[in-house]
Amino acid sequence: MLDSPLRQQTECAPICYLGLGSNLGQREVHLRQAIKLLRAFMVVSAISPVYETPPWGVVDQPDFLNICVAGSTHLPPLPLLSALKRIENEMGRRATYRWGPRLIDIDLLFYGDLILETERLTIPHPHLAARAFVLAPLADIAPGYLHPQTKNSVAEMLAEVDQTGLRRLAAPLFAEDAHV
């Protein structure tokens, strides 16, 4: 079978790791839809199990479902960020308040080993080492991945954070996609 043009374009591209979350409406449906839309510009290589987690920052809101996705893309970091924001907007995400409820949230966690700091984007994601809701699903698909600045593995970072309230769902919502 011939590879798709997208797969050929991304053959030498760095592996990107994304964190996805939803705490409004049909959370599972929103995560599935976001993955479907990601595939327009990303070759998805792994999808973590789903975790249900308490909200972070503002706690008076519904619990989140969180996953991490690994994949490669031909898009450079800033156009990738724009594409992720476009997905959020297309799916109906509306700006509320910082750390408020959201239909879908897609964060660019790592872009290969790139270290980048601009007004619009910081890579690696500046708060990922403090967030169990990011590190737990990320550890399922990339436990040995090293943070390019701290040189700590994802598994090591996860061991250092409070995991209270973190719950891995027994039946993965994306079992058919886990390793595509």
**pLDDT digit string, tens, across residues 95-148:** 665 555 788 999 999 999 999 999 999 999 999 999 999 999 999 999 999 999
Tell me if residue 63 is catalytic.
no
* Overall average pLDDT of the 20-42 stretch: 94
Q: Please state, for a pLDDT cut of 70, what percent of the chain lies above it.
A: 82
Single out the catalytic residue among 63, 107, 113, 177. 107
Q: Is the pLDDT of residue 6 over 60?
A: no
Q: Taking 80 as the threshold, does the pLDDT of residue 88 lie above it?
A: yes
Is-catalytic flag, 102?
yes
Buried b (16+ CB within 10 A) or exposed e, 142-176: beebebeeeeebbebbbeebeeeebeeeeebbbee
> Which member of 27, 105, 131, 140 is catalytic?
105
Q: Is the peptide bond before 124 cis (omega within 30 degrees of 0)?
A: yes
Give tens-digit pLDDT for 45-77.
999 999 999 887 766 788 999 999 999 999 999
39 is catalytic: no
CA angle at residue 150 from 122 to 78, to 5 degrees? 20
Where residue 174 falls among pLDDT bands split at 50, 70, 90? Answer: low
Rounded CA separation 172/48 (Å): 8
Strands 15-22, 116-117: pairing kind:
unpaired
| Interatomic CA distance for residues 161 and 76, integer angstroms | 31
Is 93 one of the catalytic residues? yes
Q: How far apart are the first and last CA of the chain?
A: 15
Identify whether the C-beta of residue 155 lies closer than 8 Å to the C-beta of residue 139: yes
In three-state secondary structure terms, 97 is coil
CB of 57 closer than 8 Å to CB of 127: no
Q: What is the pLDDT of residue 106?
A: 96
**Which residues lie across from 111 on neighbouring strands?**
16
Identify which of 54, 51, 32 has the alpha carbon closest to the alpha carbon of residue 101.
54
Domains (ranges, CATH) in the chain? Answer: 5-170 (3.30.70.560)
With CA atoms as reference, report the closest residue to 23 among 52, 53, 67, 63.
63
84/88 Cα distance (integer angstroms): 6
Percent of the chain with pLDDT strictly greater than 90? 73
Question: How long, in residues, is the chain?
Answer: 180
Predicted model pTM: 0.87
pLDDT at 180 over 50: no
